[in-house]
Amino acid sequence: MAHRRCWLTKAVRLDGKTKTRRPVFTPKGNRLTNKVVHNGKEVEMDGQFILEWYENGRRIRRNVGSEAMHAHEELIRQRSKLQAMVAGVEVVEEPDTHKHDLEFATKVYISHLRSNLGTDPTLSLEGGSM
């Protein structure tokens, strides 16, 4: 049976080390806050939200940024995806728009070099005294 549970943790710096803590949701409206539970108290701390779930017996973790609103949206999206998988609905993975194609990135980089240097940036060893 597929897992249908996912959750958020927050990576924060405590005593010079990165620790994960459970984030706090508001009692009304179930909105995510920037607070975490530390030593039984709710404390506001900066850090990165991490979305976690199990997939095929493996625990998956994905950094979803430091913004509480964006992290909450990603949590809802992942919950919907897991529930659809349990119901037998085929889930199509969205392409990651943050990753570039290697060929495209290479062309952009070479174009950038040529426009800034104006000449071919390769070195010539002919006639040089190296």
List pLDDT tens digits, range 43-78: 999 999 999 999 888 999 999 999 999 999 999 999
Q: What is the pLDDT of residues 74-96, one digit of tens each?
A: 999 999 999 888 888 887 776 66
Is the residue at 62 inside a domain? yes
**Is residue 6 over pLDDT 60?**
yes
Count of domains forming the chain: 1
For residue 119, tell me if it sits in a domain. no
pLDDT for position 122 = 62
* Coil/strand/helix, residue 48: strand
Residue 21 vs residues 4, 31, 38, 99: alpha-carbon distances, Å: 21, 17, 7, 29
* Mean pLDDT score across all residues of the chain: 83
Tokens of 121: 């940036």
The verdict on residue 92 lying in a domain is no
Amino acid (1-letter code) at residue 99: K
Contact 47/12 with Cβ under 8 angstroms?
yes
- Provide the domain limits for residue 64: 6-86
pLDDT at 117: 67
Distance of CA 15 to the CA centre of its chain: 24
pLDDT for res 59: 93
Residue 73 in domain? yes
52 to 39, 72, 129: CA distances (angstroms): 22, 12, 58
Residue 121 within any structural domain of the chain: no
